[in-house]
Amino acid sequence: MVALAAPAATRNVVILGASYAGARAAELLSRTLPSTHRVVVIDRQTHFNHLYLHPRVSVVPGHSHKTFIPLGGIIPSPAAAATNASLPLSNKARHVVIHASVTSLNDDFIELDRDLLEHERDLEGEADEIESLTDELESARLDAAPRDKKLSTRRLSWEYMIYALGCQLPPCLTSTARTKKDGVAFLESRGAEIKRATKILIAGGGALGIQFATDIADLYNNPHNVAHLGLAEGEAPPPKKRVTLVHSRDRFMPAYKQEMHDEVVRRLEVLGVEVVLGERLALPPQDEDAPGTLKTVKLRDGRELEYDLLLRCTGQKPNSQLLGQWLPEALDEHGFVKIRPTLQVDVAGVPDADKRSEKLRRNVYSIGDVAAAGVIKAGHTGWNQAGVAVQNIMCSLETDALNAERPSSADAEEPKLVEYERSPPQIKVTLGLQHSASEMCAAMGDQHTHFSVGEGGPVDGHYAAVWTRMGADPSGDLMA
């Protein structure tokens, strides 16, 4: 049997995914975990991807690098003060960020796509904690049987797990990039395709399709925005764009107030975007898209739409394959992770879950877009879920510590976990470079939303505030 990487002396709270939900969970845990535990954040990408700006920066040139933020800042160096004296905090943050992909999950360990001792450059965090982890891996390799030595340094034990791998992006933004350099190159390549095109067909009228349609039309067809085209001296302006937005429903943004739909329609008309509602296109396979080649697609009423660039803004799917291979009964019919109100993964349908391991019932959480939480898939909902998951993990640790001090004859206490409170759908969607529409609650916990429109604001979408929130310096080297 393969020896596991982390002995009981340092127990791992593993966070899979470092997007909006996972990054927030990592930040909170790093401030509150006792010295017996470390946060291990695993993400295949080297940088936090600020996805909400990716549509904008793939249209407007010169800003792509601002949307990839160093991950190291999500976990502060000094641990915050303990909120409960029964959990002794370390005098330093105990954390490691691992840039790797997870290949499989197990009741006792996770397996990565790389040998961490051979790829120490993919470990980020406190130097002492990285050294501690690599020492544990070295020990595991020494203790492993000869045939298992390589596997031993790909495996990490876990005591708690937060599954926060989100959803696969729609095809227009799907990228295999793992580094900032490659991510910037992908977005710039998409921008170059948009710049060359003359007839752009956008399939899918959700927030992503609406933002693409309005940004493209506003940038390329509005002479007031020529300064944002990034033209070299003497370079001729690119061709104007005929933009067509096709939506399968009869109304835009149906989860929101009628005012949202009305404002979206008004702005699309102002910007000259052709709109087709209630139509689901029969599109060719994705590998036949061939940007730059003129093609046609026929509507049900016989009309034909010509395009030389197709932006597919539908097809978001949960990244739940790993959990599905491990606990297939924990996925719903759409592939999202079933969760309990406490955000623990619902393993009620998993055969012999209690017999396999108490950890399956108690210590596995799922948050963010991949979780079937009954709310919209958005950064702010994942952010709020992270707080609930961390609060419950800390409650369990505190209860376990108190139970350990009880006489063996005494009944163990169960942790009193809190439940996630759903919030109404909220959104801010841009409708051109200087225009937006929002439906938001006035205060945290409010169940009533208010619609408003906005004008102005920077084209790069207040990126600096996100850098600061992620613990990174927006005044430093933005290419790092």
Of 188, 251, 243, 248, nearest to 219 by C-alpha is 243
Q: Which domains does the chain have, with CATH numbers?
A: 11-168+317-404 (3.50.50.60), 171-315+424-469 (3.50.50.60)
What confidence score (pLDDT) does residue 91 get?
A: 38
Going residue by residue through the chain, which has 480 residues, state the pLDDT in tens, using 9 for 90 and above: 455 554 456 899 999 999 999 999 999 999 999 989 999 999 999 999 999 999 999 999 999 999 999 988 887 754 433 444 444 444 345 789 999 999 999 999 999 998 888 888 888 887 878 888 888 888 888 887 777 777 888 999 999 999 999 999 998 999 989 999 999 999 999 999 999 999 999 999 999 999 999 999 999 999 999 999 999 998 998 999 999 999 999 999 999 999 999 999 999 999 999 999 999 898 888 888 888 999 999 998 888 999 999 999 997 899 999 999 999 999 999 999 999 999 999 999 999 888 888 899 999 999 999 999 999 999 999 999 999 999 999 999 999 999 988 888 888 899 999 999 999 999 999 999 999 999 999 888 888 999 999 999 899 999 999 999 998 999 888 887
DSSP state of 333: T
Distance of CA 83 to the CA centre of its chain: 29
Q: What's the confidence (pLDDT) of residue 83?
A: 41
Q: Please report the pLDDT score of residue 444 as a whole number.
A: 81
pLDDT at 285 (0 to 100): 87
User: Which amino acid is located at 162 in the chain?
Assistant: I
For 384, the 3-state DSSP assignment is: helix
Distance CA 38, CA 47 (A): 21
- Structure confidence at residue 143 (pLDDT): 80
Rounded to 5 degrees, what angle do the CA atoms 94, 81, 422 make? 85
Q: E-assigned strands of 28-116?
A: 37-43, 47-49, 68-70, 95-99, 102-105, 109-112
Question: Are the CB atoms for 366 and 392 separated by under 8 Å?
Answer: no
Give 40: exposed, middle or buried? Use CB within 10 Å, 0-12, 13-18, 19+: buried
Query: How far is Cα 169 from Cα 208, in angstroms, rounded to an integer?
Result: 10
Contacts 24+ apart (CB under 8 A), 147-150: 148/1, 148/2, 148/3, 150/115
8 A C-beta contact, residue 255 and residue 423: no
The residue count for the chain: 480
Query: What integer pLDDT is reported at residue 197 of this predicted model?
Result: 97
pTM surpassing 0.85? yes
Determine the Cα–Cα distance for residues 429 and 207; give it in Å rounded to an integer: 6
Q: How far is CA 196 from CA 189, 233, 238, in A?
A: 11, 18, 7
Residue 240, pLDDT score: 96
Q: Do the beta carbons of residue 38 and residue 95 sit within 8 Å?
A: yes
